[in-house]
Amino acid sequence: MSEQVLVETADRIRTIRFNRPTKKNALTQDMYDAAAEALESADTDPSVRVSIITGTDGVFTAGNDIVDFTQRPPDFNEHDVPPVRRFMLALLNAQKPVVAAVDGLAIGIGVTLLLHCDLVVASDRAVFKTPFVDLALAPEFASSQLMPRIFGHAVAAELLLLGETWDATRARETGLVNRVTEPGKLDETARFIAAILAAKAPTSLKASKALMRQPVESIEDRMDRENAIFASQLQSPEFAEAAAAFLERRAPDFDKLG
């Protein structure tokens, strides 16, 4: 792992921390590779139930390192997957929940990656900006589709066309952020949320996330898809433990199921 991306796993939670504060955590291709590796391995590591993506004190990430990208521009047509695309695919396809904890600057991909996390916590000093047009570029990470869908076209245009800066309050109002807290309580809040997720039935949690990420389909088709998973879960050890815990008036313990 890169020293500029710190990875720690404890209490079933993997923390992936951008750690390049002297450059405002601007992301290099090496950092993308390291973050992608951490996400990919989390999906196959039974000791990990949830991942947290965060930055350092006062800085989430200033986005792509412009110098690194101009010197080594990613070729999205090459046979090998560029590191930035590897990271995008790792986050997009993450089977287990991902929580983002944002303090201070979140610029460019520091904003668009949040669209692919399951829950986002921000400090009250967080700021969000996507200056793609200002840099004569175009939106990325499917933000041109997801932002209008989530926020509505007019609100998405504030970020993607005007390049406006949102504070934490505006981000919470639009639905980009789930919760806002004091900077000193950000890590604690993110880990609290992650711990709640980590205690839930892992197979059920992954299935629910996968359903929420499915492309739009007819209501009947979605019902059929849900019902098939629901029926399967009824026969699972997880449901047996949840039902027993309910009847015994205790918290379920899914760790004992392996």
Read off the pLDDT of residues 178-196 as tens digits, 9 standing for 90 and up. Answer: 999 999 999 999 999 999 9
167: exposed, middle or buried (C-beta count within 10 Å: 0-12, 13-18, 19+)?
middle
Q: How many whole angstroms from its chain centre is CA 73?
A: 24
Q: Which pLDDT belongs to residue 71? A: 76
Percent of the chain having pLDDT more than 70?
Answer: 97
The CATH code of the domain at 202-257 is 1.10.12.10
Topology of the domain covering 5-198: 2-enoyl-CoA Hydratase; Chain A, domain 1 (3.90.226)
Query: How is the chain split into domains, by residue range?
Result: 5-198, 202-257
> Residue 44: left if φ>0, alpha if ψ -120 to 50, beta else—which one?
alpha
pLDDT grade for 68, boundaries at 50, 70 and 90: confident
Least confident of 59-68, 152-161, 186-195: 59-68
Q: Which pLDDT belongs to residue 70? A: 78
Mean pLDDT of 118-134: 97
